[in-house]
């Protein structure tokens, strides 16, 4: 399932382009709205591609350039509504896998149905609905998939072994303390000797959490690496029909349909291998002997209802955002604030770099496609190398995360150097003034961004309450989506105001660095402890 995600993400961007082309194929040129925006295949008429084109939807005329934007906005809104509504259902362990597969196959079917919907069909507006369903299916299945991350980490071999050692030492310590208490009542014993295993238990406890963090980061990073690999494979496969057929709407439809088939086929291993009942028991409570109210859990099982869960999910969202609940999980919400800035910052770096390469460095489309391949390829290497670095030096997840953020900020900072006069006086390299530097930065950024994605969600997984993974990963996803418009909007305003997109690099440096103090001030141990002990109270 992990390796299908990047391929699906690539196909979603193709769907956006196809919906725009479908609308243009059925649109008319302004101002008379009688001339088709596309000339018939047997006609030698020349149509101005730059002319404004509108299409009639019901009683309204809509600009074809805006049509795909409206569809994308609607799909994002529906995705947010869906991931909020499904939180309680996905956290109900018997239904998490069913929900994941249901949304995966809805998205896959929506993408595959593009094969049977040509732009000449009178039902072509249905492509907008298919695009919305595909995007919603993708976003919801990702949230359900991310909710498995803590469970998969806890079930990894090294974590199970570390937990067994901790429990064994804890049990031995309890026996030793019990024997000492009994001996203290005997007059033959003069003095009680402190337990020799108390310090060992603390060390093993710290080692367990360190092992769990490393395992979570490793699994998350491996998933990112597999996802990037799948994305590159899909890109190469899709290039064949798109190139051979000259970039027609049918070639794009074929590429989307193939991605839908891939999505469905590679969801089958998830159906076979993922646990049907993911553990949502609070391991820390059991580990330290805190009693779990199983009778209440059984009562909830018998009363479970999908409709009730959806209603409760929205009530719970409002409750989660109350100040008293935020204070209970201060470190978790502080990380979400940092994630709001970082997710938008990294995404904006990508889009700004491509736009800068096209407009300022005048790089041809073929070079931009090559950069589009180099970046995720480097992301694979970064996702695999950084966990090795972590094991080698024993760094924590937060230290790796801060290091990656600082490294990413050096990219726009390097672009700011282009304003120095020395780079304007015949120097052919430096300050992002040549196309060759774009290739180098693509390798650098890809290796950083790939690792960042893995560590960002791994770090978050340890700051959320056990048993509520889907609910909190839904909030994680919404935070990501809600921030995605800020960066591009500001960059667009800067470019329009100054006439030079290079000024946007200053904004990007500041945006990323705003998140660094938030990350450094997170008390990870306290945040993890608060999440383990967290209980939501309705009143």
Question: CA 174, CA 171: separation in Å to the nearest integer?
Answer: 5
- Cβ atoms of 477 and 139 within 8 Å: the answer is yes
Name the DSSP class of 36: B
Q: What is the pLDDT of residues 242-252, one digit of tens each?
A: 777 766 777 77
Residue 292 has pLDDT above 50, yes or no: no
Average pLDDT for the chain: 79
pTM for this entry: 0.76
Q: What is the pLDDT of residues 335-381, one digit of tens each?
A: 999 999 998 889 888 888 888 888 888 888 778 878 888 888 899 99
Q: What is the pLDDT of residues 467-477, one digit of tens each?
A: 888 888 988 88
pLDDT at 282: 46
Question: CA 253, CA 21: separation in Å to the nearest integer?
Answer: 11
Give the confidence band of 40 by pLDDT, cuts at 50, 70, 90.
low
What does each C-alpha distance from 322 to 28, 317, 496, 502 come to in angstroms? 50, 9, 39, 41
Domains, the chain, with CATH or none:
1-167+225-290+304-320 (1.20.1250), 322-539 (1.20.1250.20)
Closest CA to 472 of 320, 246, 302, 324: 320
Give the confidence band of 165 by pLDDT, cuts at 50, 70, 90.
confident
Copy the structure tokens of residue 333.
């919400």
The larger pLDDT score, comparing residue 164 to residue 424, is at: 164
Q: Is 307 helix (H, G, I), strand (E, B) or coil?
A: helix
Burial class (CB in 10 A: 0-12, 13-18, 19+), 186: exposed
């Amino acid at each position: 399932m992990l390796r299908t995600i990047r391929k699906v993400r690539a196909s979603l961007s193709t769907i956006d382009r196809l919906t725009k082309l479908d609308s243009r194929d059925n649109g008319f040129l302004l101002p008379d709205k009688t001339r088709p925006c596309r000339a018939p295949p047997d006609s030698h008429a020349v149509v101005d591609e730059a002319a404004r084109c509108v299409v009639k939807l019901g009683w309204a005329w809509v600009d074809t350039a805006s049509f795909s934007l409206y569809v994308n906005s609607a799909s994002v809104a529906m995705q947010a509504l869906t991931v909020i509504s499904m939180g309680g259902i996905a956290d109900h362990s018997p239904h998490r896998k069913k929900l994941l597969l249901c949304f995966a196959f809805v998205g896959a079917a929506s993408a595959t149905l593009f094969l049977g919907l040509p732009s000449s069909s009178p039902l072509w507006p249905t492509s907008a609905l298919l695009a919305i369903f595909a995007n919603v299916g993708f976003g919801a299945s990702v949230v359900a998939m991310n909710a498995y991350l803590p469970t998969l980490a806890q079930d990894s071999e090294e974590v199970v072994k570390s937990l067994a050692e901790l429990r064994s030492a804890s049990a031995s310590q309890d026996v030793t303390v019990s024997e000492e208490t009994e001996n203290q009542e005997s007059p033959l014993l003069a003095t009680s000797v402190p337990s020799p295993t108390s310090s060992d238990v603390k060390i093993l406890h710290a080692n367990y959490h360190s092992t769990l963090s490393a395992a979570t980061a490793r699994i998350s990073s491996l998933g990112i690496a597999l996802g990037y690999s799948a994305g590159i494979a899909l890109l190469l496969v899709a290039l064949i029909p798109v190139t051979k057929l000259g970039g027609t709407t049918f070639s794009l439809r074929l590429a989307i349909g193939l991605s839908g088939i891939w999505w469905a086929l590679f969801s089958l291993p998830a159906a076979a291998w993922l646990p049907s009942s993911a553990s949502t028991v609070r391991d820390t409570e059991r580990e330290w002997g805190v009693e779990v109210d199983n009778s209440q859990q059984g009562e909830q099982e018998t009363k479970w209802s999908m409709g009730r869960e959806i209603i409760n999910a929205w009530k719970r969202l409002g409750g989660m955002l109350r100040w008293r609940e935020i204070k209970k999980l201060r470190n978790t919400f502080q990380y979400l604030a940092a994630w709001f800035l970082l997710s938008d910052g990294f995404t904006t770096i990508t889009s700004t770099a491509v736009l800068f390469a096209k407009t300022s460095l005048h790089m041809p489309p073929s070079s931009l496609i090559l950069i589009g391949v180099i970046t995720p390829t480097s992301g694979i290497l970064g996702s695999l190398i950084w966990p090795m670095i972590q094991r080698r030096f024993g760094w924590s997840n937060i230290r790796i995360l801060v290091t990656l953020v600082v490294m990413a900020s050096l990219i726009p900072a390097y672009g700011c150097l282009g304003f120095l006069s020395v780079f304007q006086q015949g120097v052919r390299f430096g300050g992002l003034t040549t196309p060759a530097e774009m290739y180098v930065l693509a390798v650098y950024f890809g290796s950083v961004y790939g690792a960042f994605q893995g560590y960002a969600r791994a770090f978050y997984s340890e700051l959320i309450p056990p048993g509520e993974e889907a609910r909190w990963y839904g909030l994680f996803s919404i935070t990501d989506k809600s921030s995605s418009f800020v960066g591009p909007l500001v960059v667009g305003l800067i470019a329009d105001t100054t006439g030079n997109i290079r000024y946007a690099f200053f904004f990007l440096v500041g945006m990323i660095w705003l998140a660094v103090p938030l990350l450094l001030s997170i008390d990870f141990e306290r945040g993890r402890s608060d999440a383990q002990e967290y209980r939501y109270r309705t009143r």
